[in-house]
Structure 1
Amino acid sequence: MSEPTLGPRLLTVEAVLLALAFAVAHTQSPLYYSNQNQYLLHAAALAEHGHLAGDWLANTADPTPLFSRLVSGAFATQPWLIQPVYFALLMSYFLVVRWLVVMLPWFPDTWLARVGFAVLFTAAHAGILRWLSVQAVGTDYPWYLQSGLAAQYLLGPGLQPSAFGVLLVWALALFAHGQPRLACAVAAAACWFHSTYLLPSGLLVAGFVGALAPTRARIAVQAGAGALAVVAPVLLFTFRQFDPLDSASKEALSTLANVRIPHHCVPARWFDLVAGLQLAWIAFGLVLARRVPFARALAIAALGGVLLTGVQLVTRSDALALAFPWRISVLLVPIATAVVCSKAASRLSETRRTQRVVLALLGALVAGGGAVAALGLGYRTVDESGVYEFVRRTAKPEDVYLIPTAFPKVGSGRGAVSNTFAPPPRAKEGTNQIPVDLQRFRLATGACVYVDFKSVPYAAPEVQEWHNRMTFAADFYSRTQHNLSSDEVALRARGITHVVAPRSRPFEAHYLDEVYADDIYIVYEVR
């Protein structure tokens, strides 16, 4: 059948509509979910959200100051504005991947190929399919088509600094479209939002330079120099604030890598059969696109990641582990998915029946995304609204809450999973899960917290202080007897004014007055 030719305006409208469909089908979390509870804290404090300007963690060195400055504007007006910003980022991600795949030699410029690709790529990210996977087999398998190794990812459930890794995809697309200098600069710009992209961006720029060098050496040097100029301020800031080479940082690096985020840092913890299959998926995508220049750049970047991972395995360097040489996979996996989807879309038969099926599938994915949002099928947490509402109404600037927290006993777990569409997770021995109880306490109430396990600083002295606070809290909640004057003195010495306890383990102490209770928690005030 004949294919109608669309003009530039209609092509733009088509692209935007498909991007809207992708963003709706992808879905996003409500505010204050998962890592947002760490990365939005400094922004909330800057905007004087509640009493967080006095919170200890909010006054530690901010690892993502540009992100915090930008997001503080939303907190100063309406925190909900964070949601449309992330929606726009989702659309941007889809549009740039679409722009990239048109450079693949097998991809035809037809309506069916474009929409067919959109359906397949959207399906790989669709919230409803991820939810169905959890319901059917207990694991979110579609997640592995878009996430990288070691539980790391570009997009994730909502707006956080790592979501600006989308700039790496933009860099790749710019390179594919013959703009290597701008591509290197954009790759380096991702580091401005999160310094965890320093090594992945460096590997990608090295890939660009390596792919250019044999035939366009001068441009390769210029592009590499431009990237270095863009990233130089981030390097200076990172080494000044969080110098990983300082001997005094050794203990802090070990704490971060082996206690707080071993599921990101210790290959023995995150590498399993699924991770091996993801590596095979990356290789498959690179082989399919092997004759395309951007694939050669990706192959160089992937090789660099493999070599540095090998160095980390041999040296067991915590500093290198925290640089995440395997994080380049957060770009490689979704690009491999895009390449495979484009290959499949290019082979769709040009019939009206196929067109109707493709449109029906796209509509189903969009409707499924709406159902996830309307019915609360994803991003579920324990209902802690009662205690949050009480604290939000009663908290004063000088109040500091001690909440139940402990070092999780999860040391034997392997692999990386997503709980986004699973029931509220609980830390269990033998898994890689960490406790998330009361993780929203700060942002949901605006009250100051003494310490929690989920949110952590990164400067060496502050990591040590966090560990000391965690040790105190873990010891306090592990004991069965608290009616000692030394406990009262210890709480007062730390400025703690309120203690939150699980309803199942109430405290009996002469210095604690119960001021609130529900089915899950009790709040005590220190006399």
Structure 2
Amino acid sequence: MQHDRRPSPPWLRRLLSYIVFTPLFSIAYTQSPLYTSNQNQYFLHGLARAGLGYLREDWLANTLDPTPLFSLLVFLSYRYLRLEALFYIYYAILMGVYLVSLLEISAAGFTTESHDHGNPSTRYIVLVALLIVIHSAGLRFGLSRLVGVNWTYALEDGVADQRLLGPVFQPSSFGVLLVLSLALFHNRRPYLAVLSAVSAAVFHPTYLLSAGALTLGYLLFTWIESRDPLGTLRLGGLALAAALPVLVYVYAGFGPPYSPLAQQSRQVLVQVRIPHHALPSYWFDLTVVFKLVLVLAGIFMVRRSRLFWVLVPAFGIALALTLIQVFTGSTALALLFPWRISTFLVPVCVAFLLAGASNWFSGLVQGQVSHLRLRATSLAFITLAVVVGGIRFTVDLERKANLAERGLEQYVFAHKTSRQIYLIPTKMQDFRLASGSPIFVDFKSIPYRDRDVLEWHRRLRLADRFYRTLDCATLHELISSYRLTHLVLAEENGDPDCGLDQPIYQDQFYRLYALASP
């Protein structure tokens, strides 16, 4: 007697997908070693509070924290567990949320006419393979070498060099909760969708506009579908209540946006520090046109889905505010990053297109043997992506261990004491966290409160002036005004005639001097 097999419940299928595919996706995507790039800024407050070296005495560590919840996560993890590998695990968890959310959203790509055929199991494994491959470190390497550096993340990131994932775990990584929000809304969980979207902004306020755009779409569709004003108001009220603490923190902490200090600081951020994020004239290129085509094609593909009514308003808001910024030149609007909405539009729309491609592939093959071959091919591509990702991580670890400044940083870490402040070349972005010692300034890590931004810019200009000219008067001004205790010089800098003693550390790349008070 035969018994009909009952399909597994959706929650179990999602859980199994998450457990199986998260490690594969995270290894294929790969991460950069701790602490790299933006991590030098966003880990500072948490590690300083947790007691790493003497970072509590660092000037930047005592400025207003722009991402306090992320810093709390760093603080708790480092202070009580001292297991830095947790930061890799946290990011892998978020990557899994991102992948499974894309898989859920991709179902919208199966609901259009002519896109609902093929063996479901084959279709699913092909889609998983496509998503893993287009996000893989191996494909990024190939795109950067064959097409150009600007195309490295062309199939997954937004415009202006902004993306949800990327090589490092940082506050913006929680933007994956925007994709989860869309998946929840697609599965008719509007209240959870709103909370997920706002949670992205809780971890990084830069997502406030994106969360607002999604919420507007949810409200629009809820009204169209139900014509229930009270239900729509409840949903909007939940979004406002959840976002209110973030809005209050941003306004109270960073001040009114149109004060003279705020305007000056915005000019510094837009023109000096992040023009690649903030100026369309800087970041607009052929990749933007390519991504625009992907987004429009993806939205068109799900025109009969409930997600259509969410994505169209989000796209419209991003486009309208971007055009307004271009024509007005507003620095306030530039730092609102309306184009950051593209960070979830692009990967979501690419997932729709890949869903169509997986349908097409699975619909082409006939017979059990052919389906098995297609699944085997998909698994082979996943395996290749995972192997390449693992190799890339190993290579990056070795490369970071052999950086020119590593010997200097290890020496300072071993000999650091309280009340030391190091003047370093401004592009030496890893020194602070690697040595556990306060520094005067670097270019990478910045504050966000207006007066702190202006102070950062002043410090940056002073440091750059000294390293450009090796002017002793500038050095003495820095020592007397900021109580600097140590100076780092690269070998190519030469020896300034400033009465310095012999270096206390020297290798083929750098020299370290102890500074005497003038």
What TM-score do you get using the length of structure 1 for normalisation? 0.89
* 1:90 equivalenced with 2:86 (yes/no): no
Shift of 1:70: 1.1
Among 243, 262, 267, the residue aligned to 1:231: 243
1:385 alignment partner in structure 2: 406
Among 12, 37, 41, the residue aligned to 1:38: 41
Amino acid at match of 2:143: S
Among 455, 463, 477, the residue aligned to 1:473: 463
- Tell me, yes or no, if the aligned pair for 1:371 and 1:377 is still in contact at 8 Å: no
* Residue aligned with 1:290, SS: coil
2:58 alignment partner in structure 1: 55
2:131 alignment partner in structure 1: 121
- Tell me, yes or no, if the aligned pair for 1:33 and 1:379 is still in contact at 8 Å: no
Task: Report which stretch shifted further, 93-102 or 148-157.
Answer: 93-102
* Residue aligned with 2:225, SS: coil
- Tell me, yes or no, if the aligned pair for 2:108 and 2:302 is still in contact at 8 Å: no
Matches within 5 A, 1:300-449: 300-349=313-362, 350=365, 351=370, 352-376=372-396, 382-405=403-426, 437-449=427-439
Amino acid at match of 1:383: A
- Tell me, yes or no, if the aligned pair for 2:432 and 2:438 is still in contact at 8 Å: yes
* Residue aligned with 2:291, SS: helix
Distance 1:470 1:393 in 2: 27
Distance 2:14 2:63 in 1: 48
- Relative to structure 1, the CA distance from residue 211 to residue 378 in structure 2 (aligned partners, 3 Å threshold; closer, same or farther) is farther
Shift of 1:278: 0.9
Distance 1:514 1:379 in 2: 27
- Tell me, yes or no, if the aligned pair for 1:255 and 1:463 is still in contact at 8 Å: yes
Distance 1:506 1:438 in 2: 17
Distance 1:226 1:32 in 2: 37
Amino acid at match of 1:178: R
1:431 alignment partner in structure 2: none
Among 503, 511, 514, the residue aligned to 1:522: 511
* Residue aligned with 2:487, SS: strand
1:311-369 Cα deviation digits (max 9, x unpaired): 21222111111010110000000001111111111122342221221121111111111
2:274 alignment partner in structure 1: 261
- Relative to structure 1, the CA distance from residue 68 to residue 172 in structure 2 (aligned partners, 3 Å threshold; closer, same or farther) is same
* Residue aligned with 1:145, SS: coil
Shift of 1:20: 2.3
Distance 1:283 1:10 in 2: 30
Shift of 1:396: 1.2
Shift of 1:215: 2.9
Shift of 1:310: 1.6
Distance 2:397 2:359 in 1: 33
- Tell me, yes or no, if the aligned pair for 1:103 and 1:177 is still in contact at 8 Å: no
- Relative to structure 1, the CA distance from residue 102 to residue 259 in structure 2 (aligned partners, 3 Å threshold; closer, same or farther) is same
- Tell me, yes or no, if the aligned pair for 1:152 and 1:327 is still in contact at 8 Å: yes
Identity percentage over the alignment? 35
Shift of 1:95: 1.3
- Relative to structure 1, the CA distance from residue 387 to residue 153 in structure 2 (aligned partners, 3 Å threshold; closer, same or farther) is same
2:166 alignment partner in structure 1: 156
Distance 2:14 2:321 in 1: 42
Shift of 1:15: 4.6
* Residue aligned with 2:335, SS: helix
Shift of 1:247: 3.6
1:434 alignment partner in structure 2: none
* 1:175 equivalenced with 2:185 (yes/no): yes
1:388-427 Cα deviation digits (max 9, x unpaired): 111111111111001112xxxxxxxxxxxxxxxxxxxxxx
Amino acid at match of 2:384: A
- Tell me, yes or no, if the aligned pair for 1:515 and 1:525 is still in contact at 8 Å: yes
Shift of 1:383: 3.4
Distance 1:488 1:142 in 2: 44
* Residue aligned with 1:500, SS: strand
- Relative to structure 1, the CA distance from residue 146 to residue 345 in structure 2 (aligned partners, 3 Å threshold; closer, same or farther) is same
Shift of 1:164: 0.4
Distance 2:35 2:320 in 1: 37
2:212 alignment partner in structure 1: 202
Task: Report which stretch shifted further, 56-65 or 245-254.
Answer: 245-254
2:200 alignment partner in structure 1: 190
Shift of 1:214: 2.2
* Residue aligned with 1:524, SS: strand
- Tell me, yes or no, if the aligned pair for 2:33 and 2:397 is still in contact at 8 Å: no
- Relative to structure 1, the CA distance from residue 209 to residue 377 in structure 2 (aligned partners, 3 Å threshold; closer, same or farther) is same
* Residue aligned with 1:448, SS: coil
Among 498, 501, 510, the residue aligned to 2:499: 510
Distance 2:132 2:185 in 1: 24
Amino acid at match of 1:98: L
- Tell me, yes or no, if the aligned pair for 2:467 and 2:493 is still in contact at 8 Å: no
* Residue aligned with 1:458, SS: coil
- How many residue pairs were aligned? 491
5+ residue gaps, structure 2: none
- Tell me, yes or no, if the aligned pair for 2:18 and 2:96 is still in contact at 8 Å: no
1:7 alignment partner in structure 2: 8
Larger RCO (alpha carbons 8 Å, 6+ apart): 2
- Relative to structure 1, the CA distance from residue 103 to residue 481 in structure 2 (aligned partners, 3 Å threshold; closer, same or farther) is closer
Shift of 1:501: 1.0
1:201-229 Cα deviation digits (max 9, x unpaired): 11111122122222324332221221111
Task: Report which stretch shifted further, 29-38 or 92-101.
Answer: 92-101
Distance 2:116 2:138 in 1: 28
- Tell me, yes or no, if the aligned pair for 1:45 and 1:52 is still in contact at 8 Å: yes
What TM-score do you get using the length of structure 2 for normalisation? 0.90
Please state which structure has a larger fraction of its residues in helix: 2
Amino acid at match of 1:369: G
1:298-319 Cα deviation digits (max 9, x unpaired): 1111101111112212221111
- Tell me, yes or no, if the aligned pair for 1:97 and 1:173 is still in contact at 8 Å: yes
Shift of 1:136: 3.5
* 1:493 equivalenced with 2:506 (yes/no): no
1:429 alignment partner in structure 2: none
CA RMSD of aligned residues (A): 2.0
